[in-house]
Structure 1
Amino acid sequence: MQIDSSLSALTALSPLDGRYAGQVHGLRPLLSEAGFMAHRVEVEIAWLIGLSELGLPEMPAFDASARARLKAVAEGFSQADAARIKAIERDTNHDVKAVEYWLKEQVADVPALAAAAEFIHFACTSEDINNASHALMLQRARTDCLLPAYGSILARLRDLAHQYADQPLLSRTHGQPATPTTMGKELANVVARLRQAVGVMAAVRPLAKLNGATGNYNAHLAACPDIDWPMFSAQVLQGLGLTQNPYTIQIEPHDWIAELFDAVARANTILLDLNRDLWGYISLGYFRQRLREGEVGSSTMPHKVNPIDFENSEGNLGLANAMLRHLSEKLPVSRWQRDLSDSTVLRNLGVALGYTLVACDACLRGLGKLELDAEAIDADIDACWEILAEPVQTVMRRHGLPHPYEQLKALTRGRGITREALQNFIASLDLPAEPKARLLALTPRSYIGLAARLAADI
C-alpha cells in the first residue's frame, strides 16, 4: 500500500472532511478549531473594549482609531492568524493563553492598546472566553446552517403536501390495510411535527458567563472593588448577543446546549421517521425516483434504482443523534467546581451538527427526485373494500342496528370482501334511505375524511 498520511479529502479519517466535505462547508468557519480561535478573539476584544469604558484611571477609554484597530483584528481574523496562535500554543501548551499572547502581538504597535495590554484577559478564566465563544459558535451555526437546512426540507414537504393533498392513500396500521388517508395529509403530518421541533430548536436561548475562576468574581473584586461586575459582565455579553447565566461554577453548566442538542435530536428523529416511510412507499411503488444520467443502482443488477438518498439520510441521522445525545448528557456534568472532560467533547460540536447537515442534504435531495405513481397507489386502495367495514358499522351504531361491529367482523376480518358483497350487505340493512345511499356511494378512494382539507391547510 502506497497511501501516505498527509491530510486530503481522500485520506481524511472523518467523511465530514472527506466524502461529505462539500456538504458541511458552512460549518467550517464556525465550528472548526480556527473558527473557535476567531470567536475567542471576538470575546476577548469585547471584554477589553468594555473594560476601557469603565473609567479606570489605569486604562483610559480607547479613541476611534484604537477601536477600529481592534475591530479589524476581530473581523479580519484569518487562517494565517490561527496558524500563528497554534505556533504560540506549542510553547504555552495552553490554547487560551496563546490567544492572549497573539492579541498582545497584534496591538503592540498601537500605543493606546499596547499600554492596555495587561487588561487583555483581565480577571478572566479560560472558560469565560471559551463558554462565550461556544455560545456564539452554536448560535451562528443554528442561524446560518441548521435552520436553513430544515427550512428547505419543510418548504419542500409543504409543497408536496399541497400537490398530493387529494391523492387517496391506503393507510397501513401494524402494516395492515387501514382507514384511508391522502399522500398529502401524511406529508402534512411531518410538516406539522417538524415545524414544532424546529421552533423549539430556534427558541433555545444561548447563555454565557464572564464571572471568573469559580463564578464569584473573586479576582475582579480584588482588583476593582467599586465596580458592579455582574452588571458589567451582563452588558458585555449582551453586546455579543448573549444572555448572562448569573449562577455558575468555573464552567457555564451547558444546560442550554443540552436543551439545544435535545431539540436538534428530536427534529432529526422526525426526519428519520420520514426517511423510513418514504423508503417504504418507494418499495411499494407509490413513488418513482427521477433517473440521473450515468448513475448506477447496483454493480450487478442493472435495473436497480435504489432509495439511496433516504438511506444515506437515515444513517447519518443515527450518527448525529448518537453524538448529540452524548453531548447533551455529558456536558452538564462536571466534578465539583470544574473538570476538563467537557473540553475535549466540546471540540466535536462540528461533528454532531455536520452529520445533521449531511442528513438534511441527502433527504432534500431524495425529496427532489420523487415522482408519484397514482396508478400504483389507486390499485392498492381499490383492492381493499374491507376498509369500509369501519364506516358501515359506525353508521349502523348510530341508527341502533344490532351488533354492528360483530356483524362486520364476521363479514370481513381476515378475508377481505368484494364491492358487490359489501353493497349487498349494505342494501340489506334496515337503515333510513339517506345514510344507506351514502354508504352505497362510498368507495375506498372517497373514504378519506378531512384528509385533503387538512393537507391543503398546512
Structure 2
Amino acid sequence: MSLSPLTAVSPIDGRYHSATKDLAAFFSEAALIKYRVFVEIEYFIALTDTGISQLSRLSDKVALRSIYENFSESDAQRVKDLEKTTNHDVKAVEYFIKEKFDTLGLGDSKEFIHFGLTSQDINNTAIPYSWKEAFNSIYYPSINELIKELEGMAEEWKAIPMLAKTHGQPASPTRLGKEVAVFVERLGVQLNQLKAVPFSAKFGGATGNFNAHHIAYPANDWVAFGNHFVNDVLGLHRSQKTTQIEHYDNFAAHCDALKRINSILIDLCRDIWTYISMDYFKQQIIAGQIGSSAMPHKVNPIDFENAEGNLGLANALFEHLAAKLPISRLQRDLTDSTVLRNIGVPFSHTLIAFKSIIRGLKKLILNEDVIQADLEKNWAVVAEAIQTILRREGYPKPYEALKDLTRTNNAINQESIAAFIDTLDVTDSLKEELKAITPWNYTGV
C-alpha cells in the first residue's frame, strides 16, 4: 500500500494533510537532510574564508550553494541510499556532498567536508535552523492571523454589554469585546516571551572543545570561528560550553512558551464553546454540511472542539520535549536523536488548531437578543453598584441591606430595585443616581 493521505498512519499526514503539508519543508526527513547539507556546505565555505581550504573561484561558492539551493527529492533519496551502506545518516550526507564535489571538479578539497566535526555539530545546527525557519515562515504568520481575528472581534463588540459569569453564576456585567481583548493581551504577552528565547545551537567538535580543530591548526581561534559561523552565518546563538550535544535548555523554553500559548487557546476554545451553548453566538450554516448524523437541527461547535483536542495533543508532546531533551547521560546519549525527529508533530497539531480556531471564529454570529435578555433577567447584579455608592455616602450597613434584598425568593427586576431604593433614607438626587444604574451601563471602564 503506497503512502498517501488515505493510507498514512498519522492524521497529520492523513486527514489533516491539507493543513500541515507546508510543514514538510521544515520537519520531513527530506527537509532534515537538506538542512544538514546546507550546514555542511556553509561550514566548508566558512573554512575557505579562513584560508584552511581553498576555492579557486568565487563561482565555486555559487556552485556549492546551488547544492542545497537546488536540493531535490531525488537528492534526498540518494542520501538515503548511501545511508543503507553507512548506517549513519550524517555520514551519508558527507558522502553525498563528496559526490557533488567530484562532479564540480572540486575533488581535491573534499576531505575538508565535515572537517573536525561530529554529527551533532550538524544536527544541533540544522535542527534549530529548521525550527527557526518554521517559526518565521509558518508559526508567527499563523498566530498573528488568529490574533488579528480576535482583535477585530474585540473592536467590533467593544460596546456590547454582557452578563459576566464567575463560578458559573451571574456577576457584575462586562463587555463582550473586552472579554475577547483579554485573550488578545494574554497571547501578545506570551508571544513576546517566546520571541525572546534564542535559537541555540551546539558547534564545537566531538565533546564541545574543538579538539580535532585545535590539534590540526593550533594557531587558529576556533571559538571565535565557531561563534562567527553559528551566530553570523547561520543566524543562531552558539552555546559556549557544551558536551557533544546542545543542552536544549532554550529549546525546552520554546516548548514551554508554545505550551502556554496553547493553554490560553484551550481556554479561549472552552469559553467560545460555552457562549455557543448559551446561545450568545449562532454559527453560520455551510450549505451541504451536517452537524449531527441523527439530529438535523444541530450545528455543533466542532472547530473549537477539534482545536482543543489538537492543542491538548501538542501540549503533551511539548511537555515531553521540554522535560526530556535537557537531560543526557554524561557527555552524550542517543535518546535526544529519535525525540528530535518528532518536533514537527506538536508543531503540526498546533497549526491544525490555529486553523480550526480561525475557521470557527469566522462562523460566529452574535445573538445580541439573548445577551440582552440574560442581562434583563439578572437585575440583581446592580446590587454591587448600589451598595458601593451607599458606602461612599456613609450609609449604615449597605452590603447587608442589599444582601437581604437580593437573596429573597422574590423576583429581582428594575421595579423591585427601584422600590428598594425608595425605602432608603437618602436624598432624592442620590435615589435618582441609584435608579439610573442598569445591567447595561454598569460595565466599568
Mark yes or no: TM-score above 0.5. Answer: yes
Q: d(CA) in 1 for partners of 2:429 and 2:174?
A: 24
Q: For 2:115, which of 119, 122, 125 is the aligned residue?
A: 122
1:132, distance to aligned residue in structure 2 (A): 0.3
Q: For 2:210, which of 201, 206, 217 is the aligned residue?
A: 217
Alignment of 1:179-258 (within 5 A): 179-237=172-230, 238-258=232-252
1:170, distance to aligned residue in structure 2 (A): 0.4
Q: d(CA) in 2 for partners of 1:326 and 1:218?
A: 33
Q: Which amino acid in structure 2 is aligned with residue 15 of structure 1?
A: P
1:329 aligned counterpart, secondary structure? helix
2:423 maps to 428
Determine if the alignment matches structure 1 residue 447 to structure 2 residue 422: no
Determine if the alignment matches structure 1 residue 41 to structure 2 residue 37: yes
Q: d(CA) in 2 for partners of 1:133 and 1:157?
A: 35
Determine if the alignment matches structure 1 residue 408 to structure 2 residue 402: yes
1:455 maps to none
1:430, distance to aligned residue in structure 2 (A): 2.8
> Which stretch of the first structure deviates more once superposed, 89-98 or 396-405?
396-405
Alignment of 1:84-233 (within 5 A): 84-111=78-105, 113-233=106-226
Give CA-to-partner distance per residue, 1:30-78, whole Å, 9 cap, x none: 111111111001100111001111123xx22442121011110010111
Judged with a 3 Å threshold, the aligned counterparts in structure 2 of structure 1 residues 330 and 62 are, in CA distance, closer, same or farther, namely farther
TM-score, reference length from structure 1: 0.95
1:434, distance to aligned residue in structure 2 (A): 4.0
Determine if the alignment matches structure 1 residue 319 to structure 2 residue 323: no
Determine if the alignment matches structure 1 residue 279 to structure 2 residue 273: yes
Q: Which amino acid in structure 1 is aligned with residue 116 of structure 2?
A: A
Determine if the alignment matches structure 1 residue 330 to structure 2 residue 346: no
Determine if the alignment matches structure 1 residue 17 to structure 2 residue 13: yes
1:432, distance to aligned residue in structure 2 (A): 4.1
Q: d(CA) in 2 for partners of 1:82 and 1:399?
A: 79
Q: d(CA) in 1 for partners of 2:30 and 2:427?
A: 77
1:433, distance to aligned residue in structure 2 (A): 4.3
2:12 aligned counterpart, secondary structure? helix
Q: Structure 2: give runs of 5+ residues left out of the alignment.
A: none
Q: d(CA) in 2 for partners of 1:193 and 1:306?
A: 27
1:431, distance to aligned residue in structure 2 (A): 3.0
Q: d(CA) in 2 for partners of 1:265 and 1:414?
A: 46
Q: Which amino acid in structure 2 is aligned with residue 136 of structure 1?
A: Y
Retained in 2: the 8 A contact 1:207–1:242? yes
Give CA-to-partner distance per residue, 1:249-304, whole Å, 9 cap, x none: 10010111111111111111111100000000000000000010000011111111
Q: d(CA) in 1 for partners of 2:420 and 2:121?
A: 77
1:285 aligned counterpart, secondary structure? coil
1:396, distance to aligned residue in structure 2 (A): 1.1
2:355 aligned counterpart, secondary structure? helix
Q: d(CA) in 2 for partners of 1:393 and 1:279?
A: 34
Retained in 1: the 8 A contact 2:13–2:21? no
Q: For 2:28, which of 24, 29, 32 is the aligned residue?
A: 32
1:247 aligned counterpart, secondary structure? coil
Q: d(CA) in 2 for partners of 1:324 and 1:159?
A: 30
Q: d(CA) in 1 for partners of 2:109 and 2:427?
A: 93
Q: For 1:55, which of 37, 45, 51 is the aligned residue?
A: 51
Judged with a 3 Å threshold, the aligned counterparts in structure 2 of structure 1 residues 414 and 344 are, in CA distance, closer, same or farther, namely farther
1:165 aligned counterpart, secondary structure? coil
Determine if the alignment matches structure 1 residue 343 to structure 2 residue 364: no
1:181 aligned counterpart, secondary structure? strand
The sequence identity of aligned pairs, in percent, is: 47
1:101, distance to aligned residue in structure 2 (A): 0.2
Q: d(CA) in 2 for partners of 1:219 and 1:190?
A: 52
1:244, distance to aligned residue in structure 2 (A): 1.2
1:171 aligned counterpart, secondary structure? strand
> Which stretch of the first structure deviates more once superposed, 182-191 or 197-206?
197-206
Determine if the alignment matches structure 1 residue 438 to structure 2 residue 439: no
Retained in 2: the 8 A contact 1:209–1:233? no
1:203, distance to aligned residue in structure 2 (A): 2.2
Q: d(CA) in 2 for partners of 1:435 and 1:247?
A: 71
2:442 aligned counterpart, secondary structure? coil
Judged with a 3 Å threshold, the aligned counterparts in structure 2 of structure 1 residues 344 and 414 are, in CA distance, closer, same or farther, namely farther
Retained in 2: the 8 A contact 1:310–1:366? yes
1:264 maps to 258
Q: d(CA) in 1 for partners of 2:107 and 2:430?
A: 90
Q: d(CA) in 2 for partners of 1:139 and 1:433?
A: 67
Determine if the alignment matches structure 1 residue 384 to structure 2 residue 378: yes
Determine if the alignment matches structure 1 residue 289 to structure 2 residue 257: no
1:453 maps to none
1:169 aligned counterpart, secondary structure? strand
1:170 aligned counterpart, secondary structure? strand
Q: d(CA) in 2 for partners of 1:210 and 1:225?
A: 17
Q: Structure 1: give runs of 5+ residues left out of the alignment.
A: 451-458
Retained in 2: the 8 A contact 1:395–1:435? no
What is the count of residue pairs matched by the alignment? 443
1:27 aligned counterpart, secondary structure? helix
Q: d(CA) in 2 for partners of 1:323 and 1:171?
A: 34
Retained in 2: the 8 A contact 1:201–1:263? yes
TM-score, reference length from structure 2: 0.98
1:6, distance to aligned residue in structure 2 (A): 2.8
